[in-house]
Amino acid sequence: MALIKKFEDIIVWQEARNLVKMVYKLTSTGDFSKDFGLRDQIRRASVSTMTNIARI
């Protein structure tokens, strides 16, 4: 079992970070880019996932 010294070492956090990158990329084009409220809510939700993992 690997020793975790910082939250960035957690694989799930790394995957959540990849998710955030994908969400930002997908919501910057098309209809999402025009619907500011929905776009921002989805972005905040993805960032929240990453933040909650870091808090554990």
Query: Model's pTM, two decimal places?
Result: 0.84
Q: Write the DSSP string, 29-56.
A: SHHHHH-HHHHHHHHHHHHHHHHHHHH-
Note the pLDDT of residue 28.
96
Note the pLDDT of residue 3.
85
**Quick one: average pLDDT of 47-53?**
93
Domains in the chain: boundaries: 8-55
Measured CA to CA, the distance from residue 32 to residue 46 in angstroms comes to 15
Note the pLDDT of residue 1.
66
**Quick one: average pLDDT of 16-37?**
95
* pLDDT at residue 41 tops 90: yes
* pLDDT at residue 32 tops 70: yes
